[in-house]
Structure 1
Amino acid sequence: MSVQPQPWPEPDPQIAAAVRAMYRGRREPPLAVQVRDRLGELFPDAAFADAFGRVGKPGWSPGRLALVTVLQKAANLTDRQAADEVRENLSWKYALGLTLDDPGFDHSVLSEFRTRVVEHALEERVLDLLLERLQAVDLVQAGGAQRTDSTHIVAAVRDLNRLELVGESVRAALNALSAACPDWVDQVLVVEDWSRRYADRIDTWRLPSSKGKQDELALHYAMDGYTLLEALYAPASPAWLRELPTVQSLRIVLVQNYTRAPGKGGRLRIQRRERAEDGGDGLPPGPIRLASPYDTDTRWSAKRDLFWNGFKLHVSETCHPQADGDRPARPNIITNVATTASTLPDTKTLEPIHQALERRRLLPARHYLDSGYPSAELIVGSVKTYGVALITPVLLDTSRQAKAQEGFAAHDFTIDWDNHQAVCPAGKTSATWTPNIQNGVTKTVVSFAALDCIPCPFKDRCTSSRKNRRQLSLYPRELTESVKEARTRQQSKGWNKEYALRAGVEGTIRQATHTTGLRRARYRGLAKIHLDHTTSATALNLIRLHAWWNGHPLDRASHSHLARLQLALTA
């Protein structure tokens, strides 16, 4: 397929006349029409030319396919429904510059387009192009305030327990081998026996109820898996079969769930891995543990009472304080979406978010976050590196004394950074000042002398250490003072009023999950899911622009009939 970048044609006069007639007067033109009228050629072909060849059979305009994909997300349509809209919907034909008799394209073209975009790392191109256009018309700018929050995304695969995962991994590898090289399977394996065990999905039949029988079945799955791998890695087997994705997934699943060691008679003894307190042959940590043979990027994760298999989505948007009833000068625009593994902590995501906003020249002056994102290093580093002030609750002192609100917490000590010593509330000076590394973080351990602590009348309120002396673990000076200042600032009423601006991002996430169906991934693989998220963010921005252009409230709350009745009764 080849693409010769061309400017989009102007809307067909016949279609334009019909659209103007249908939406004359008070009727508002639909989203697709206003996007074309106000933003013009939003996604030029040249922006996607790298994903297509210069020679070969001419293909559909990639820029217009990008717009179709965005409009598809705005209406939450399937590929087949979106292709039908291109053929039948006059407003879509108007936006795309198609003639009345244009036959459109087969719905499979949309899937091929997404695949090419992912293969050429263009997942964020549509959002970048929209934000560039909005910057040009002064609807979004750097500085000001932005807010970020995260939500969970459920993967497009079935949830499997450990036993089902191993059996399904063997089955997936067998199916892939049978499709790729059926002659090899017929020559090496007894097809009838393997088909009897792995013809149907493992989760479609009831597993044994007793633990003993489950363990026995788990070992059978493991022996089948190792037998299959040994056949694949035999010298006579084609080497390319070993590189099939499902074969590699099977190999990893077996390593993560079983051990093999020499037993009696020299035969290898297979055992299931169990989590060990000493970290011996226990299960691998969650960030590297496979959860499905069909999507090797998905992971099991937990957050408070939520347990899910999938990913995590981080949404950043502009936000503007406003008085009740006032129309904002600009609509709130989503400036970035980050799709990560579900096991990645929020603190590890903030730096890439700032890097993406810097690349788009949309760094905020104030960034509103919940307490899961910041750390002492990020609070200081964001100001130094990006000029971004983090408006976020700083976790309070978690020491025993601070939690009980009695005794002496770390902030009750006077730190003399210049002379490398600390003074306790009883007036005693520290005995040692030792810089070290704790969990990869530079800290300083300050210790007081036991001879000062033992006779101290405040000892019970200060320390319960068996060494009979108080110790403090301090971040570097700049970090310690910044955290102390932030903790003091967040105790004021004015700070709570300012921080209330962050709450609006939760409504944005609700709009994203309900309008575009983001809660459940439509695709497999982190790259394709991220493409879906950036396309959805672009669609949400267009929906918000459409509301803002037509003077509609951008934060209209939806109430159930019961809620409206209650409001009426209390009025």
Structure 2
Amino acid sequence: MSLHAAPLAEIPTRTAELVRIILPKGNTITQLRDCFGAVYSDDQFRSLYPTRGQPAYAPWRLALVTIFQFLEHLSDRQAAEHVRTRLDWKYALALELEDLGFHYSVLSEFRARLVAADQGEMLFNTFLQACRDHHLLKPGRQRTDSTHVLARMRVLNRLELIGETLRVALDDLATVIPETLCQVIPAAWWARYSRRVEEGNLPHSEPSRSELAQTIGEDGFFLMTSLLNDTALNPLLDRPALAMLRQVWLQQFQRELSGLGVTQIKLRAQEDTPPAESRRCTPHEAEARASIKRHTRWQGYKVHFTECCDEAGPRLITHVKTTPATQPDVQVNDTIQTELIARALRPETHLVDAGYLSGDGLVESQARGIDLVGPLRESSSWQSRTADAFDLSAFVI
């Protein structure tokens, strides 16, 4: 796909006339087009496409479709169908009534280009600037809160985790050293690790599950030792799949010397595994972590949204920050305020919940000219849990 940037198209006369007949008062989609225009231009996406090849579908239209898709909670297939059949979408995208749009896979390819070029935030900033140009953005009073983001993964138990991690490592090695791998690993491994571990019939009894975990642990150490002992294969240990194997085995297994000098491999007790912020959940997504917030448990990430909340103005999101699921909210507050100030969006009042509030944060916010407002966290000291003790509520400054 190549990009041949073209001037923004005017809304076709027939499309505009029919929309005015059917939607005389308009709707959200047509009003967005009338108020903001096309918002994006092909030139903004020039770095995402090569200069030669089959012409790509106009990226400014795909950017708008991505926004409409989010507004109406649509899948890629549904969004592509709306481009073909919805008059208000044709109006906003400046399409002729007969235009059949594009195949739904074009949307995922467009998003992949944005992610690969780290240009996803460009869509957000461009639309935010359009709101600023129309005097809709008044950052005087803003609030921040976080929510969970699920990783693209099936939740694995410990047995599934170690089995799938070893299978992924073997699949990776099979792409680079297929012949050597056949010579190194026993024939029985092909039946054990030839398909995803959750697709197999895992044992149900605890002794059988422990025996299988022991076998998988020994197989993993055998594979890593074989690579380590061959100087020609040593560099393979730095491949991401093998690095993940080393990390998971370090977290899930321990090796002990018996009285006869024989190394024994044991699955670690649950309380002996690393804390959640460093513990791996899946070999398919190295950054995903397990976390809990109040009554919600999940594996993935955490996203922090900041929005304008002045009663007289619209609710516009001004900042988005994604962090590891285990990172405390209080550690993100400084970053959020610094980035808002850098984009000329400094709030006069910053509303947060108790997770973002700290004494240092109050002082630092005041130095930035920001009034940080939120509830204090409940005390977890032993004094607060003892009837005759003096906790913080007994003192007034």
1:139 partnered with 2:136: yes
| 2: CA distance, partners of 1:407 / 1:292 | 46
Residues 382, 389 of structure 1: 8 Å contact kept: yes
Find out whether 1:7 has 2:7 as its counterpart.
yes
Q: Is the 8 A contact 1:166 1:221 kept in 2?
A: yes
Aligned 8 A contact 2:138 2:313 in 1: no
- 1:361, distance to aligned residue in structure 2 (A): 1.7
Matched with 1:32 is: 29
**Which digits, 9 at most, give the CA deviation of each residue in 1:190-229, with x for residues without a partner?**
55x2232123432345543444332221111112222333
Change (3 A) 1:231 1:15: farther
1:283 to 273, 277, 293: 273
Matched, 1:354 2:337: yes
| Bigger Cα displacement from structure 2, 113-122 vs 302-311 | 302-311
CA-CA distance at 1:3 after TM superposition: 2.5
Deviations 1:35-55 (A, max 9, x none): 211111212223333333344
SS in 2 for 1:208: coil
Residue 139 of structure 2 contacts residue 308 of structure 2 at CA under 8 Å; is this kept in 1?
no
Whether contact under 8 Å (1:160, 1:292) holds in the other structure is: yes
- TM superposition shift of 1:182: 4.4
Q: CA deviation at 1:409?
A: 5.2
Q: 1:86 to 1:185 in 2, by over 3 A?
A: farther
Residue 292 of structure 1 pairs with residue 292 of structure 2: no
Given the superposition, is the C-alpha separation of residues 244 and 65 from structure 1 closer, same or farther in structure 2, using an over 3 Å criterion? farther
Residues 297 and 402 of structure 1, relative CA distance in 2, 3 Å threshold: closer
1:393 equivalent in structure 2: 375
Whole-Å separation in 1 of the counterparts to 2:316 and 2:286: 33
Mapping for residues 494-509 of structure 1, pairs under 5 Å? none
What amino acid sits opposite 1:355 in the alignment?
T
| Separation of aligned partners in 1, 2:376 and 2:263 | 53
AA aligned opposite 2:163:
G
Q: 1:232 to 1:17 in 2, by over 3 A?
A: farther
DSSP-derived class of the 2:160 partner: helix
Letter of the 2:358 partner, please give it: S
The answer on whether the counterparts of 1:128 and 1:360 sit within 8 Å (CA) in structure 2 is: no
Change (3 A) 1:227 1:134: same
Alpha carbons 2:355, 2:377 under 8 Å: kept = no
1:383 is the counterpart of 2:380: no
* Gaps in structure 1 of 5+ consecutive residues: 277-281, 322-328, 414-483, 486-571
Q: For the residues of structure 1 that align with 2:124 and 2:146, how far apart are their CA atoms?
A: 18
Assess if the C-alpha contact under 8 Å between 2:138 and 2:308 holds in 1: no
* Paired position in structure 2 for 1:496: none
Q: Does 1:250 align with 2:232?
A: no
2:143 is the counterpart of 1:161: no
Q: How does 1:174-253 map to 2 (within 5 A)?
A: 174-178=170-174, 182-190=178-186, 193-205=188-200, 207-233=202-228, 235=230, 242=237, 244-253=239-248
| Helix, strand or coil at the partner of 2:354 | coil
Specify the SS of the correspondent of 2:306: strand
| TM-score in terms of structure 2 length | 0.88
Which residue in the other structure is 1:548 paired with? none
RMSD (Å), alpha carbons: 2.9
Q: Which amino acid is the alignment partner of residue 165 of structure 1?
A: L
1:177 and 1:106 mapped to 2: Cα distance?
A: 36
What residue is the counterpart of 2:255 in the other structure?
Answer: 260
Correspondences of 1:90-105 after superposition (within 5 Å): 90-105=87-102
The residue type equivalent to 2:191 in the other structure is R
d(CA) in 1 for partners of 2:268, 2:204: 20
314, 320, 325: which one aligns with 1:342: 325
**Corresponding residue SS for 1:286:** coil
State how far apart, in whole Å, the 2-side matches of 1:408 and 1:202 are: 55
Relative contact order, higher structure (CA 8 A, sep 6+):
1
CA 1:402–1:244: 2 relative to 1, 3 Å: closer
* Alignment partner of 1:172 is 2:168: yes
Deviation of 1:392 after TM superposition, in Å, equals 0.8
Please list the CA deviations of residues 408-448 of structure 1 after superposition, one character each: whole Å capped at 9, or x if unmatched: 556878xxxxxxxxxxxxxxxxxxxxxxxxxxxxxxxxxxx
Over 3 Å counting, the alpha-carbon distance change for 1:337 and 1:87 in structure 2 is same
2:347 to 348, 364, 368: 364
Which of structures 1 and 2 has the bigger CA Rg? 1
Verify: 1:64 aligned to 2:61, yes or no.
Answer: yes
Match of 1:87 in 2: 84
Please give the secondary structure, in 2, of the residue aligned with 1:158: coil
How many aligned residue pairs are there? Answer: 397
Percent of aligned positions that are identical: 37
Distance in 1 of aligned mates of 2:337 and 2:185: 53
Over 3 Å counting, the alpha-carbon distance change for 1:29 and 1:186 in structure 2 is farther
TM-score of the superposed pair, with normalisation by structure 1 = 0.63
Query: d(CA) in 1 for partners of 2:224 and 2:389?
Result: 62
